[in-house]
Structure 1
Amino acid sequence: MKNKLLILLSFIGFTASAQELNKKIEDQIKHKEVMLNQCTREGIINFPEFKASYDVNYENYKVDSTQLKDLKKLAGDKKITVVMGTWCGDSKFQVPHFIKIADALHIDKNITFICVDGNKKAENGLIDNLKIERVPTFIFFDKKGQELGRITESPKKSLEIDMKEILTAKTK
């Protein structure tokens, strides 16, 4: 019984210290409510500041189907971290496109979304080692956690082609 109580208390302590998903704050730089830290897809796409542009940009984006077969094979076991701002025009444009590609590839379980404030910061060192300068930043990792590459702010060619080039390149 004593061991069960200790396990339960440990679990409660861990849960209380875990970061809040879909956290909203009043941003002192942007002077509006923004999302911060790790967020779910549902939290982001339903956030009022983001939703209107998300709906239009997701619906209107035409996925490059010629790239999907190769991308499906390449992206299967990769992890992707998307660092974005719900306040950011480039995030409002590129993230819906990326999500539509992810939906076509059925890789949504491999994606982590992290929202930043107007200073491009998150709490508790969440992105300190990611060297984020602009958002959105799409970072691709192999199954060992090594960064393969990133797309920062907007793609050079297209999201699909840039993703394919990153995922076919050798691990750094």
Structure 2
Amino acid sequence: MVESFNKGLSFDEFLNSSDEDDRNKTLEMYENIKLDDDLIKSIMNIKNEINILACAEMWCPDCVINLPALKKMKDLNDNINISTIKRDGYENEFEKIPTFIIYDEKFNKLGRFIERPITIKEVEKTGTQPEIIVAKKKYRKGEYITDTIKDIINIINLKGE
């Protein structure tokens, strides 16, 4: 996957390769991200280089929601590197999008974020139909982006940083 990382696009390059409507939705999602001080500190406290390979497509609603979370993390900490690839040609490795593979500085795999934050997956598994509908509506509005960031930080911190 290191080769794929090296072939990937930056967030901005990837965004600019999409159509205007998807680009605008993604930028709006990014601009509406609100992080509390503790979450900002958690991102800024990542001291070692982290490499995140994102497999995504801009037409995908989950990608429009979750890619901005990576961009926000990168903007707050230069130790975080992001490379984005499209799913075409990688269907066997990436069944669902977005999939973010998180690596350390030597490209040892730390873990994966797949499709949605754990919080939403739990509601989908155990919630009542009304709870699921409400959670998904909030998710689509970007109200769970901080959960995506927390999931990624938890993967990074499992390494012991």
- The verdict on a shared fold, with TM-score over 0.5 as the criterion, is yes
Provide the TM-score with structure 1 as the length reference: 0.63
Structure 1 segments unaligned to the other structure (5+ residues): 1-18, 22-36
Q: How much is the aligned-residue C-alpha RMSD, in angstroms?
A: 2.7
How many residue pairs get aligned? The number is 127
CA gap of 1:71–1:97, structure 2 versus 1, over 3 A, is closer
Q: Tell me if structure 1 keeps the 8 A contact 2:57–2:98.
A: yes
Higher helix share: 2
Partner-residue secondary structure (3-state), 2:94: coil
1:101-116 maps to which residues of 2 (within 5 A)?
101-107=73-79, 110-116=81-87
Percent identical residues? 26
Matched ranges for 1:78-157 at <5 A:
78-107=50-79, 110-116=81-87, 121-122=88-89, 127=90, 131-157=93-119
Unaligned 5+ residue runs, structure 2?
A: 120-146
The answer on whether the counterparts of 1:50 and 1:92 sit within 8 Å (CA) in structure 2 is yes
- Bigger strand share: 1
CA distance in 2, matches of 1:106, 1:58: 18
Q: Distance in 2 between matches of 1:75 and 1:136?
A: 25
Separation in 1 of the partners of 2:31 and 2:13?
A: 18
TM-score by length of 2: 0.66
The equivalent position to 1:164 in structure 2, one of 153, 156, 160, is 153
**What CA distance in whole angstroms lies between the structure 2 residues aligned with 1:134 and 1:67?**
27
Q: Which has the larger radius of gyration?
A: 1
Cα gap change, 1:106 to 1:143, in 2 (>3 Å) = closer
List structure 1 runs of 4+ shifted beyond 3 angstroms: none
